[in-house]
Structures are given as structure tokens and as C-alpha cells.
Structure 1
């Protein structure tokens, strides 16, 4: 009898705790356990769509001051090379019909200044003494400028392009063939002292 009573207690206990045990072992949103129903899973946030990728603007090729892409008019120079490598240049031969942009009338009153040369004497010295060998060119040009014009000059010669900054009052850059030479007069000590 005790065994029977013991089994009855177990069955009765199982019946009492069965709804709670089933809710614990098999959870549902409406289990009848008296709890609030479970909330739904949070949804992922919605992000705004990105605009379509735009193409980059076309790159504009920039030229150096002596490149042919800057000039609308090209002058073909007939150059004869002497045996010692000195150029003889004829500046009057034109290979393309010149194209000129109309200038504003207000510019007619302004004095025209060449940004590459402010001394025709230096230009003539460069043209007379330039050589295909740049080291020969710079020595000849320096000697002739100091002999003819007096004063102290600096000379830079190179094939192709080069970059420089100078403080000077008298200068000239001239290109013949593929050799470019730049000559400038050194500032006097008095002017140099005033600038510093």
C-alpha cells in the first residue's frame, strides 16, 4: 500500500506541475503560463540606398611652358648644323597657317612684355652661341655675355624642360632645336641687401 500511495503522489504531483513543465520544456508564445507573450525578434534597420557611382571628370593634360601642346602656331625652323655642332637658324619658315586669338582693345595701350626674355642683347648672344652640347653652350654664352654686356651672369642650358626661380632684372630664355638656355644677370650686392 505504501507503494501504491507513493505512486499516486508521484502521478498527482506530475499532473499539478505538468503545465509548468511543458511550458518550460516546450515554450510557445501562448503557453497559458500567465506570462506576457514574447515580443517578435527585432528586424534589421533599413539603410538608405546609395546613389549610383558617378564617373570622374576627364583629366585635362597640362603642358609645360615649352611643350608644343600649348602653342597654336608652330614655326618650323630650318636648322643647319655646322661641323662643330652650332645651329644656324632661319626663323621665317612657317609650317602651319598661324592662328591668332583676338586681343581685347584695352591691351593695345599696355606695353608688351615677353615673360621669357626682357633683353634682346641676351637673346642675340644665346642664338649666336648655342650648341647641341649643353656644357659647351653655357660656357660660350657666359663668356660672350660678360664680355659684351659686362656684369656677372648665370647660364642654365638643358635639353628638354627644366624648372627654375630667379631674382634678377635682366634675363632671357631661348630654345633652339631641343636645347634651351636661360641667362640672367646676378643682382648687385646693393639690390640683394635691399631685398633681404
Structure 2
């Protein structure tokens, strides 16, 4: 399943958002109502960058996610927010999951947070929670959230989750670029075909 992008593509994603100096660039928001839990993954971006992406998507007649002011989504008292200035940042929804899609993705949280100090139970437990996460686990989780969203069969959801969990970090960045780029409209479909044999 190994995918090796060419040198030009590798240069475009290898740095990721390291230019932000270690700032978290993703957030997970868990909401629980009654017996139903939903988890929403957001990508955190400077307003200028989010607006530029939105314009590129609109030029290619592709739907873009609505952006929300950072504190509207994240709140004021979430751990780690005080370490950074967020006034010119927005939260862009990647996907929201619940039910069987969310259950199939739970093992990916353990894999994504393995090399961090984030306790997966903050998100996979009960109640409401918001957690800021670094770019690397965020990129891996993005692939899971994007990949399982349209799937109907649980076996395909599990296959996709296992495939993403086994990917190297470089492969995750490559597929994240393909899935989120305005220039690659079929990136998510290609990922599902590769990992879950879904067309």
C-alpha cells in the first residue's frame, strides 16, 4: 500500500504547518446528547490562508467548508489555547462523525496519539470535550474522517481505518494533500478505492 510521491509533491507537504512553530493546527470537539455522541474534526488556519483556499475551491466550482472564528468553535478555556494568539485564526470543519462510522474510527485515535501526550480517552470517553492537537496526528485523523464519511459497510470502514493506521507519516501527508487540495477533486475517492475497495 506504500505510496511514494515525486520530489515536487514531497516538497509541497513535507513541511506541513511547521512554519507555525509547533502550534496546534487541528481540534477535536466531542458533543454528547443523550446516548448519541458526535465528534467533529476541525482544521485550524490563519484567516488569510482559509480565505485563499476557499477562493481556489470556488474557482474550481467545488464546495468549501464554512469557516468559524476560532473562539466560536473552541471556546476560551480549552487547554493550550493560552499559549498562542488566536485572534486571526479560524476553524474549518473537516468532517463530523457519529454512530458506526465513529466506532470504527476509535482505534485510529490510539494510533494518532501514540507519540503525543494526549490521552485518547479525553475524546473517546463520555461527555463533551474539546482538544487541540498537533498537525501530525491531525493529518492522520483527517484521512480517517474524510475516508469513512460516505461509506455504508462496516467492513469497508474498518479496512480504511486499518489502512490509515498503518500508513507512514509521509504517506499520510501525501494523501492529506490529495484529499484537501482544490487541484485534486478525486483524492478522497482514490483513498477509499485503495484502502477499502470502494468505488
Same-fold status (TM-score > 0.5): no
Q: What TM-score do you get using the length of structure 1 for normalisation?
A: 0.26
Which structure dedicates a bigger proportion of its chain to strand?
A: 2
Q: What TM-score do you get using the length of structure 2 for normalisation?
A: 0.26
Which structure dedicates a bigger proportion of its chain to helix?
A: 2
